[in-house]
Amino acid sequence: MDLQFYGANCLSVTHKNARIVIDDNLAELGSKSITKPDDVVLFTSNPHDLNARLSFDGPGEYEVSDISIIGVAAQAHVDEPDKLNATMFKLVFGDQSVLITGHIYPKLSDQQLETIGHVDVLIVPVGGNGYTVDPGGALQIIKAIEPRLIIPTHYADKTLKFPMPQQDLAQVLKELAMEPKETVAKLRLKPNELTDVTQLVILERTV
């Protein structure tokens, strides 16, 4: 399973013959969409009409090839407590799992945590400034989920036009008090390389 990062919250997950694209709103941010016709697209919030094979933007259980996709309803970062307008997605590939939170309110309920269960890789935005999860909120999610690997997204990027300025990655890492294990262009997840100690990896933006 390979993970690539394209800026903002946009990532792709490739497993065997399937490619899943998450939160491709890059065209709105001054870049180019990465979605191809054969892709499966997930939106944690604000779905877009992209030219993709399949698109999911809400809670439920889905199957794509041999990948299980679990959508978990969540309160969006700026929503009232009784509103669940966002969706976290957990992807399961055999004995490996990835959770993409999107722009959520960082306090998760016991029911949400029970549905999510074990997570190997947590992908969480960190840019803050009232637009998305900030480093403090990210830490709250990390402590609740207890993943084995963390990948931060949605931080300052001079090539993208965010509606609100986002924090620089260096400042985010300082506030998280975590040193990156490594910086890579593509993450190939290998279960035997994961440890019981939570680690953080920086994914370079694929252009």
Domains in the chain, ordered, with CATH?
58-203 (3.60.15.10)
The per-residue pLDDT for 83 is 87
Q: State the Cα–Cα distance between residues 29 and 50, nearest whole angstrom.
A: 15
The per-residue pLDDT for 111 is 96
The per-residue pLDDT for 40 is 93
What mean pLDDT do residues 139-164 have? 96
Q: Which segment of 18-22, 88-92, 176-180, 186-190 scores lowest on mean pLDDT? A: 186-190
In the sheet that holds 54-56, the strands lie side by side as 54-56, 40-42, 18-22, 11-15, 2-5, 187-188
Does 95 or 102 have the greater pLDDT score? 102
pLDDT in tens, 38-86: 999 999 998 887 778 788 989 999 999 889 999 999 999 887 877 899 9
pLDDT in tens, 108-143: 999 999 999 999 999 999 999 988 999 999 999 999
The per-residue pLDDT for 48 is 81
The per-residue pLDDT for 145 is 96
Query: Both tokens of residue 108?
Result: 């998760």
| pLDDT band per the 50, 70, 90 thresholds, residue 144 | very high
| pLDDT band per the 50, 70, 90 thresholds, residue 189 | confident
The per-residue pLDDT for 176 is 94
Q: Which CA distances in Å does 178 have to 3, 57, 80, 135, 169? A: 21, 32, 31, 11, 12
Q: State the Cα–Cα distance between residues 163 and 120, nearest whole angstrom.
A: 31
Q: Compute the half-sphere exposure of residue 193: CA atoms within 13 Å on the CB side of its CA.
A: 10
Query: Both tokens of residue 81?
Result: 């407590």
Mean of per-residue pLDDT scores for the chain:
93
| pLDDT band per the 50, 70, 90 thresholds, residue 160 | very high
Rounded to two decimals, what is the model's pTM? 0.95
